Amino acid sequence: MRLINFKFIKSASKPSEFIVDELPQVAIVGRSNVGKSSLINMLANNKKMAKTSSTPGRTRLVNYFEIDRKVYLVDLPGYGFAQASKEIKKEWDRVLDDYFNNTHNLKLVLVLIDSRHLPSELDKMMINYLVELGIPYQIVLTKADKLSRSQLNKNIADISNCIRHNKNMFIATSADKKVGAEQIADAIEKAINVQNN
């Protein structure tokens, strides 16, 4: 599938503002600064589609983008920004929890992990949470351009051991070098074409 026409629809901070229409949704999660906005910009082929911030952790909004009138791509608040106060952290958890519990048309979650690091406890918690809720997910490694090919392969092996996932189940991406967009588009297509029941 090719993703062509991206349109920002709205930002929401509470369930009454969430989009609950019939269009399928694909959400993006990961810690603050992992590269969520950059990934959306790469997919949209537009550097200004999602804001990329140098001061991470401020936004705790759910941002909806509509693609080709087929699917919503949903940018979720980042988790685990070290400098965030306890109160803000709680708020994040609440927004994420609210989103997952109120979005019935959610077809796939892209879980972003920095290819340079092993998954954090929060990453593992997120994956376990999605497994528990029965929500399909795809692990996406970001910032692959920061590693040599051999270092990337080694890290993929380490990360796959760490979360006990097959190495072939990862998509390695680079927003800087525009790597991985097609694979993500294919994963999105597959997910939204899966029939319920």
Ligand X SMILES: Nc1nc2c(ncn2[C@@H]2O[C@H](COP(=O)(O)OP(=O)(O)O)[C@@H](O)[C@H]2O)c(=O)[nH]1
- Of 37 and 173, nearer to Mg ion (C-beta) is 37
Total residues binding ligand X (CB under 6 A):
20
Task: Determine how many CB atoms are found less than 10 A away from the CB of residue 124.
Answer: 13
How far lies 117's CA from each of 1, 51, 139, 141, 151, in Å?
Answer: 30, 24, 14, 10, 11
Tokens of 174: 């680079």
Does position 60 interact with ligand X (CB under 6 A)? The reply is no
Q: How far apart are the first and last CA of the chain?
A: 23
Among 12, 26, 28, 37, binds Mg ion (CB under 5 A): 37
Residue 115 CB, nearest approach to ligand X (Å):
9
- Of 53 and 128, nearer to ligand X (C-beta) is 53
Asked whether the CA dihedral 121, 143, 88, 62 is positive or negative, the reply is negative
Residue 52 CB, nearest approach to Mg ion (Å):
6
Residue 119 binds what, of Mg ion, ligand X, none (CB under 5 to 8 Å, by partner type)?
Answer: none
Asked if 65 contacts 5 with a C-beta cutoff of 8 angstroms, the reply is no
Among 12, 25, 35, 108, binds ligand X (CB under 6 A): 35
Tabulate helix, strand, coil % of the chain (nearest 5): 40, 25, 40
- Of 105 and 125, nearer to ligand X (C-beta) is 125
Alpha helices by DSSP H, listed for the chain, are: 36-44, 86-102, 121-133, 149-163, 181-193
Which residue's CB atom is positioned nearest to Mg ion? Answer: 37
Helix (H) or strand (E) holding 111: strand 106-114
- Of 145 and 189, nearer to ligand X (C-beta) is 145
Site string for ligand X, 66-105 (x = CB under 6 A): ------------x---------------------------
Residue 80 binds what, of ligand X, Mg ion, none (CB under 5 to 8 Å, by partner type)?
Answer: none
Does position 174 interact with ligand X (CB under 6 A)? The reply is yes
Q: What is the contact surface with Mg ion in residues (CB under 5 A)? A: 36-37
